[in-house]
Amino acid sequence: MTRSRSRARRLAAGLGAALLLLSGSAGAGRDTIAGVATVRDGDTVEILGQRIRLYGIDAPEGRQVCRRDGRDWRCGQAAAHALADHIGRRPLACRPRYTDRYGRPVAVCRVAGEDIGAWLVREGWALAYRHYGTDYVADETAAKAARRGVWSATFTPPWEWREEHRSESVRPNHGSVAGTCTIKGNINRKGARLYHLPGDRGYAQTHIDQARGERWFCSEAEARAAGWRRSP
């Protein structure tokens, strides 16, 4: 019995050490960041509080609207939903390539061995970000030929959309982003990520501090896809 306990302790210690190595900090460029991820948008995930930008791709922004079948279509929201549905609660393993100007690791992330950046581009939910790499150009060509995802619509490349909307400012006192997104994503003292709808108790008193990771949402679906839940 004593020998069994000792073996169990050694196994647990070894497993703990392996997990620590696997989930090493983003600053150690060659370490893998692993765990169940929260989708922040179509090309950004979060694991254990660490935001990770997917390498070599650029997805429509959360507020970006494309045009399909003569109607506006929230393609950025659709991309985030598609990614969240695809990975579900399966753990990701992300291998950083470098750190971007916002301090985020830029990484190739895999779920069950599949490169999710390649999947996003192949399904038309993101574009190959040629400015930073050409790894996914063939996947983009296939998606465009099959008219998958955004290729079924008229759209502005995300990098151009960001440039066009760079001057838009958040107006926290009026509860909107560019006058349209009124759902407040707040992080409470316990670290819980909650969203508040106009008319909810405490909505007017809730202020958004983007430096802390708080944000605005255009719909409840977008908030839930990003891993936030409604304030009780």
Tell me the C-alpha distance between 178 and 121, whole Å. 28
Residue pair 133/55 in contact (Cβ under 8 Å)? The answer is yes
Partnered with residue 71 across adjacent β-strands are 68
Closest CA to 62 of 48, 75, 53: 75
pLDDT tens digits for 145-170?
999 999 999 999 999 988 887 754 34
Can you give the pLDDT at residue 162? 87
Tell me the C-alpha distance between 164 and 169, whole Å. 12
Can you give the pLDDT at residue 189? 85
Amino acid, single-letter form, for residue 16: G
Residue pair 83/180 in contact (Cβ under 8 Å)? The answer is no
Can you give the pLDDT at residue 208? 80
Question: In 103-160, where do the E strands start and end?
Answer: 105-111, 114-115, 127-128
The encoded tokens of residue 97 equal 């390539």
Can you give the pLDDT at residue 174? 34
Can you give the pLDDT at residue 105? 95
pLDDT (tens, 9 = 90+) of the chain, 232 residues, equals: 444 444 444 444 333 333 333 444 333 345 899 999 999 899 999 998 899 999 999 999 988 999 999 999 999 999 999 999 999 999 999 999 999 888 899 999 999 999 999 999 999 999 999 988 999 999 999 999 999 999 999 999 999 988 887 754 343 333 333 335 778 888 988 889 999 887 777 777 788 877 778 888 887 888 888 888 998 8
Tell me whether strands 50-54 and 105-111 are parallel, antiparallel or unpaired: parallel
Tell me the C-alpha distance between 207 and 192, whole Å. 15
Can you give the pLDDT at residue 12? 40
